[in-house]
Copies of this chain bind each other. A is one copy, B any other.
Amino acid sequence: MEPQIPKGFRDFLPERMRLRKRLIAKMTDIFERFGFEPLDTPCLEYAETLLGKYGEEGDRLIYKFQDRGERMVALRYDLTIPLSRVVAMHPEIIKPFKRYHIAPVWRADKPQKGRFREFYQCDIDIIGTTSSYADGELLVITYTVLKELGFKNFIIRINNRKILNAFAVNNGIGEERLPDFLRSLDKLDKTGLEGVFAELTEKGLMNDQLRTSLTAMTGDSAAADHNESLALLDSIVMGHEAGRQGVAELRILHETLQASNVDPACYRFDFTLARGLDYYTGPIFETIVTEPKIGSITGGGRYDNLIGLFSKETFPATGTSFGLERLITIMEELGSAESKQSLTQVLITQFDPQLMPHNLRIAGMLRDAGINTEVYFSQDKLKKQLTYASHKAIPFVAILGPDEHRDGKITVKNMTTGNQETILQYDMESWFRTQLLQP
């Protein structure tokens, strides 16, 4: 039988897993530092829980099937809808509820380069508060994660659905055509302003005032400093109460970012950010990396009405999602990837089969000292054993022969420098410690 992995799916061998695990550990650490706690939900949900939440395209991409003649079930498509279901089912959860969730999701997409059917999302969400400080905190965390991962060239783009709504209304687009308008605006990066105009014309949404306003808003002058950007947004939402509220919310985001020492060059109030999903109601944000040019690596926003779909009560909510796969791609391209070195630090070779119990005892001593230690199991030639250590990039080996054993000694070898010494077993732990600490 020919072994095959399903198309669009991946195995992660140890060398690639190391970087993934390091990244997840780093993010978990930061999330917990900000008071977020872990939640896990099943990989399967009832299909009806997911359907109709992600638009037509989304519904098509959901993996769904019959659960043994019972009900239609589906593989989780993102982490936000399962969170919403959990919050609706558990009114006892204390609010604000700050949770993180790092887990795979599935999309029955056409497999292609860089597009997978199974991939990890890392989400943080805050449920139960309308405070814009909550939205601001998500941005501070985004910044902290990217900085601590060593990213240099990134910009967090920030907008507010309330501002976009006000702009649309002020420029003759009715409430009911708003999603249409946003979907066209969302393509600005891809098609340019002329492309957006063409699409709006096709949809019958174009008018002269809109042309003038959009041209003004997307010109170079829009990229001024933060206070100027906010003043410009004030001018757009003129006379529109919810719109003014939207700008006030962004001022609190700005205040939060400033008070948290976030580099002002790393964020931008950007009127052209629209974000695809229909359920956003307030601040929206995404992060783009400018080098390497790879598109957005985080995205999120406030969704005050979504949980109400599952519950009589509504819960204000805001959240953001990190794309683990893209973060890893960037880290690999930036050369900040994990070293090739094995997690194993010492290999105890098998020099004399009679001495195996002593090899095992010595390995136990090193492990008790917190040193990752492997014992060579087979009676192979020493040369083959050293080749194994070198292929696996295990940095140190230890060799116990009859002479060493008699004298309570052991031969230790640094595989990088080739340096080899025979030392007392008693001194072994400190020898390895010293060597492991060297750069």
Contact = CB atoms under 8 A, between A and B. Distances in A.
Interface of A: 1-7, 9-14, 17-18, 20-21, 32-35, 37-46, 48-49, 63, 65-68, 70-71, 73, 75, 84-86, 88-90, 93-94, 96, 98-99, 104, 106, 108, 117-118, 126, 129-131, 133-134, 137, 255-256, 258-261, 309-311, 342-344, 347, 356-358, 360-361, 364, 367, 370-375, 377-378, 388, 391-392
A49 B11 contact: no
Given A40-B12, A43-B104, A44-B118, A377 B33 contact: no
Contacts of A9: 42, 44
A311 B65 CA distance: 31
B66 A65 contact: yes
A373 B33 contact: yes
Number of copies: 2
A380 to B, nearest CB: 10
Given A3-B311, A35-B373, A392-B94, A86 B131 contact: no
A10 B42 contact: yes
13 contacts: A1-B310, A5-B45, A11-B39, A14-B38, A17-B40, A18-B37, A32-B372, A34-B373, A35-B342, A35-B373, A35-B374, A94-B388, A129-B378
Contacts of A21: 38
A78 to B, nearest CB: 16
B11 A86 contact: yes
B35 A358 contact: no
Given A34-B374, A374-B34, A378-B131, A360 B259 contact: yes
